[in-house]
Structure 1
């Protein structure tokens, strides 16, 4: 059984993500262990002294401190431990192109993203205002998603939140009036989600089958006529709001999110 150590001179998130991504490529049990704050020779030596070199192990590290990184690599070579550094080559290449000496700051992978707190705030926002739990968030949102049930509103909000975007979703149902707040914001902040009726019926039927024990068989949730009525209602609402409409039929969450980000002018590129 292989053990991958994700070693870093900071909190080790990047190294661990790469290690887990590596492990997922194999249909084998692979253990990933995160090792943090290896900032000097002593901590590197202490780490190596605690691992069993006679087992199948490898090290993925994101140490940027050159002397510590080289020391760890040298000691691993001596011990016959496979090790790879995923930041060194990238930093060296950028340094060569820019003709600049890097600062070699531990934790820069995390610190360079100064929207970290914003992402957390956006995640909390998405959960707080999911499915119109509170209409006060409409005017605070970066984008408001509207659409019928099962048009991926909530997953999209969570995906956008991970980009630091405060996204709120409002389900469209003929029996429930829209909050007045939605008519008081810029229509450019509103995105309508539509879907092919056949595909929507399939999704809803699957949903009903999954929860057949607790859902009444008389529910018209996946009924063809009901679905068409809902789609017509949604279409009228979106035209009234004059918002951008995206067809999510057979479209991946990532693709839809990209279209939303482009629509609201979020480029996703940051100068550091």
Structure 2
């Protein structure tokens, strides 16, 4: 018997800014509907009626089932309500009900000033800059210019330095990560960072690191000498931890942590350092 195919239903998200928050919110809702095949499509930076009219033409032509929106302008809100009614596409205002709730209980009036979104855009720009910095300082790149780094991750190969760096960069932190190998000399870079509270040394149980590296072998094509040898990995981890103690770096054990958990721990530690420093 042929498997029944589930038709994809498209959901439009209209925003006058990046639309990232609305996208995450709608995605969280759709995860509760596993039987449906849903696709969220963003139409962001819609700031006037001409752009909104153009977007609605695309939505109507694309056969979208639903519309969510996160616009602040009353004109755009009214425009979406009118056009969605004309096109017979249900629309829901993600900012309206929460704002009404705040107005009612805080007894304040909103400014409805779209210019306030520039603050959001500044945050967005900061994240883009952080991503660019982190990419340029990945896996030992840019060692001669670490002054701009807010966080520096150090550890043996395959200890999740790069994905953790990217996750932190998405949150706006400029991150550099440096791989360390016993047989490779990186000059005075590490000793120059002695006592630096921006530095976090990654460690991991050797058995777990061996497991991770074994999975990596098909991608590498070749196996570096000692790369998956458990005895050598034990020596490597012990050597790394000794270095962390020598240079007085904060040690983070990633063995049983997801990347998100590791990033959250580092963020808490770096914010604590900033408050103290």
Alignment pair present for 1:174 and 2:182: yes
Question: What runs of 5+ residues in structure 2 fail to find an aligned partner?
Answer: 1-7
- In the alignment, the residues of structure 2 paired with residue 54 and residue 116 of structure 1 have an alpha-carbon distance, to the nearest angstrom, of 29
Structure 1 residues 92 and 228: CA distance shift in structure 2, 3 A: same
Cα displacement (A) at 1:193? 0.7
- In the alignment, the residues of structure 2 paired with residue 105 and residue 249 of structure 1 have an alpha-carbon distance, to the nearest angstrom, of 47
CA-to-partner distance for each residue in 1:81-105, whole Å, 9 max, x for gaps? 2211111122222333432211223
Selected match of 2:255 from 228, 249, 263: 249
Q: Which moved more, 1:103-112 or 1:168-177?
A: 103-112
CA-to-partner distance for each residue in 1:48-89, whole Å, 9 max, x for gaps? 456549956100111212243134225534654221111112
Alignment pair present for 1:3 and 2:10: yes
Q: CA RMSD in A?
A: 3.0
Q: TM-score, normalised by structure 1?
A: 0.83
Structure 1 residues 206 and 10: CA distance shift in structure 2, 3 A: closer
Structure 1 residues 80 and 249: CA distance shift in structure 2, 3 A: same
Residue in structure 2 matched with residue 219 of structure 1 by the alignment: 225
- In the alignment, the residues of structure 2 paired with residue 195 and residue 104 of structure 1 have an alpha-carbon distance, to the nearest angstrom, of 50
Residue in structure 1 matched with residue 271 of structure 2 by the alignment: 265
- In the alignment, the residues of structure 2 paired with residue 128 and residue 257 of structure 1 have an alpha-carbon distance, to the nearest angstrom, of 19
Residue in structure 1 matched with residue 212 of structure 2 by the alignment: 203
- In the alignment, the residues of structure 1 paired with residue 241 and residue 273 of structure 2 have an alpha-carbon distance, to the nearest angstrom, of 28
CA-to-partner distance for each residue in 1:173-221, whole Å, 9 max, x for gaps? 110124413323442111111101111111111111x236x214x7320
How many residue pairs align between the two structures? 264
Selected match of 1:188 from 170, 173, 197: 197
Alignment pair present for 1:92 and 2:100: yes
Structure 1 residues 56 and 194: CA distance shift in structure 2, 3 A: same
Residue in structure 2 matched with residue 62 of structure 1 by the alignment: 70
Cα displacement (A) at 1:261? 1.4
- In the alignment, the residues of structure 2 paired with residue 70 and residue 44 of structure 1 have an alpha-carbon distance, to the nearest angstrom, of 11
Residue in structure 1 matched with residue 4 of structure 2 by the alignment: none
Would you say the 8 A contact 1:7–1:60 is kept in 2? Answer: yes
Cα displacement (A) at 1:163? 1.8
